[in-house]
Amino acid sequence: MQAASNAAPLGRFARFIDTLEETVIAVLLGLMTLVTFVNVVLRYGNNTWFINSIEAVLGVDLPPSLLWGLEVTVILFAWLVLFGISYGFKVTAHLGVDAILNIVGGRVRYGLVVISALCCVAYGGLMMKGAWDYWAPFAGYERTEGRWFPTGFDERTRDQAFYETEQVPIPFGKTYLEETFNLGEEYEKLPRFIPYAILPLGVALMLFRILQATIGVIRGRRASLIVSHEAEEAVQEAAATLKAEK
Q: Convert 159-179 to b/e letters by CB count within 10 Å (16 or more is b).
A: bebeebbeebebeeeeeebbe
Instruction: Say how far apart CA 163 and CA 230 lie, in whole Å.
Output: 44
Which pLDDT value is given to residue 92?
80
Which pLDDT value is given to residue 118?
92
Which residue type is seen at 55?
Answer: E
Rounded to 10 deg, the angle between the 198-218 and 12-44 helix axes is 140
- At residue 50, the 3 state secondary structure works out as helix
Under 8 Å between Cβ of 199 and 82? yes
Question: Is the CA virtual torsion 35, 40, 41, 47 positive or negative?
Answer: positive
Angle at 126 between CA 122 and CA 132, to 5 degrees: 140
Under 8 Å between Cβ of 82 and 203? yes
Which pLDDT value is given to residue 233?
61
- At residue 237, the 3 state secondary structure works out as helix
Question: Is the CA virtual torsion 87, 93, 98, 104 positive or negative?
Answer: positive
Q: How far is CA 148 from CA 115, 131, 152, 237, in A?
A: 20, 13, 12, 45
Which of 202, 224, 220 has the alpha carbon at shortest distance from 128? 202
Which pLDDT value is given to residue 231?
53
Which pLDDT value is given to residue 238?
65
pTM for this prediction:
0.78
Which of 83, 74, 86 has the alpha carbon at shortest distance from 192? 74
Q: How far is CA 132 from CA 18, 143, 186, 196, 197, in A?
A: 23, 7, 25, 10, 9
Query: How far does the chain reach from its first CA to its final CA, in angstroms?
Result: 28
Which mean pLDDT values do the consecutive 10-residue runs of the chain (246 residues) have? Answer: 46 77 91 92 81 78 84 94 88 78 81 89 93 93 89 88 92 91 91 94 91 87 71 63 71
Instruction: Say how far apart CA 137 and CA 158 lie, in whole Å.
Output: 6
Helices (H), the chain: 3-6, 12-44, 49-58, 69-90, 99-103, 106-135, 174-181, 193-196, 198-218, 230-245
